[in-house]
Amino acid sequence: MQAGKLGTRIGGGHAGVQQPHLLKQPAGGRPASSRPRLNSRRGAVVVRAADYYSLLGVSRNADKKQIKQAYRQAARKYHPDVNRDPGAEDKFKEIGQAYEALSDDNKRAIYDRYGEAGLKGGMGGMGGMGGMGGMGADFSNPFDLFESFFGGGMGGMGGMGGMGSRTRNRATTGEDDRYDLQLDFLEAVFGCAKEIDVDRLASCSTCSGSGAKAGTSASSCPQCGGAGQVVSAVRTPLGMFQQVATCPRCEGTGQIFTPCDTCGGDGRVRESKRISLKVPAGVDSGSRLRVRAEGNAGKRGGEPGDLYVYITVKDHPELRRDGISIHSDVEISYVDAILGTQVKVTTVDGPVELKIPSGTQPGTTLLMAKRGVPRLGNSASRGDHQVHVRVRIPKSISSDERKLVEQLKEMQSKAKFGPFSF
């Protein structure tokens, strides 16, 4: 038996007894690794990146489609509902700003020329804003300062003719949903199949998601005249500016309709759905499973969001887990430590006989190869089970035992001068 020889693994051992590997032999006290570390893999620090292109992870000549795709990906990743890292929310907002600027040809042109300051109104007199007709973007934030300047810089409403190109009845992707799932220790180790009931917004079957009452048809919104946007004049220190905002009456669709009785016009209803979930082997507390398209339904034919299942794992009475390693303790008598013994160890595979070699020191860690947790995503690879050996020294002994131990002591003191010693 070699201490620290971790390269060789002995699988089952012979005669059904697992032969241990000696991991380490601390001088005494509690073994260093007897307590699983807290999962410290999360908590990545988000670095503030000023450049909109690098924020979205696209090149400077990316087209609109690529930008949109990159935005969706990044927004999903950093959405505060799904990402609880500190800084995720800020990042999410920055990504939104970046997308708002880069998805609009005009804003993008300004950004490319003047950087972020250009978009924040620091352009010094708006002189460079000529030729900005044909707004194709869909402005949703009425208080966006840039919008105010933009309107003003355009010399009244002259350049607004292009507004008709704004998408109507735009489909919106449904919100992602969250479900918290608690697993038993072994369910997390080996994976399991689960049925979960998820309460989420589903497309309304009465109106097929349109939100309109059956037999009625939509008509042009009287407040915005069907444009979906309303323009108001705002007085600022720099003068009067036009402000464009999404029409509050029709929410930008340009149309009003008699709302469906079932869903109240939203096109979606809250509904419980049973989802069969396959939990892979090796998940742990903090793992997150994504179930595609099982989040909330989209609006007006938009794609549904995703469902995120957050996992927590219950403790086991005897086993502790640290990543793919399992730890447990075994207590033996000092006599067994001297003579060696065989003990039954609870493992994730059930009870396994483990040989404790003679002369085992207190605090020894014995390794049971491949009795740990399957690696997430590669369950053929498994961690090990580390058994921490505690040696029990009796606090009181019988007079017969005392006699024997005293004999031992006598033997030991004689042995000091002989060829044998402990």
Nearest approach, Cβ of 204 to Zn ion (angstroms)?
Answer: 3
Nearest approach, Cβ of 260 to Zn ion (angstroms)?
Answer: 3
CA dihedral 315, 317, 323, 329 (to 10 degrees): 150
Nearest approach, Cβ of 140 to Zn ion (angstroms)?
Answer: 13
Nearest approach, Cβ of 108 to Zn ion (angstroms)?
Answer: 27
Nearer to Zn ion among residue 172 and residue 378 (C-beta): 172
What's at 307, amino acid-wise? L
Q: Report residue 242: phi and psi, to 5°.
A: -85, 140
Nearer to Zn ion among residue 135 and residue 247 (C-beta): 247
Residue with tokens 């012979």: 14
| Pair of tokens at residue 114 | 């003047």
Nearer to Zn ion among residue 299 and residue 321 (C-beta): 299
* Neighbouring residues of 402: CB distance < 8 A, sequence distance ≥ 6: none
Nearer to Zn ion among residue 247 and residue 291 (C-beta): 247
Nearer to Zn ion among residue 174 and residue 383 (C-beta): 174
Q: Please report, for residues 121, 148, 160, 266, 369, the alpha-carbon distance to residue 131 in angstroms, rounded to integers and kept in the order given.
A: 17, 17, 11, 39, 72
Q: Which residues bind Zn ion (CB under 5 A)?
A: 204, 206-207, 221, 223-224, 247, 249-250, 260, 262-263
Q: Which residues of 308-327 are buried (b: 16+ CB within 10 A; e: fewer)?
A: bbbbebeebeebbbbbbbbb
DSSP reduced 3-state for 368: strand
DSSP reduced 3-state for 72: helix
User: What angle (nearest 5°) sits at the alpha carbon of residue 220, between those of residues 214 and 221?
Assistant: 105
- Residue 3 half-sphere exposure toward CB, CA atoms < 13 A: 7
Nearer to Zn ion among residue 88 and residue 204 (C-beta): 204
Nearest approach, Cβ of 228 to Zn ion (angstroms)?
Answer: 6
Nearest approach, Cβ of 256 to Zn ion (angstroms)?
Answer: 7
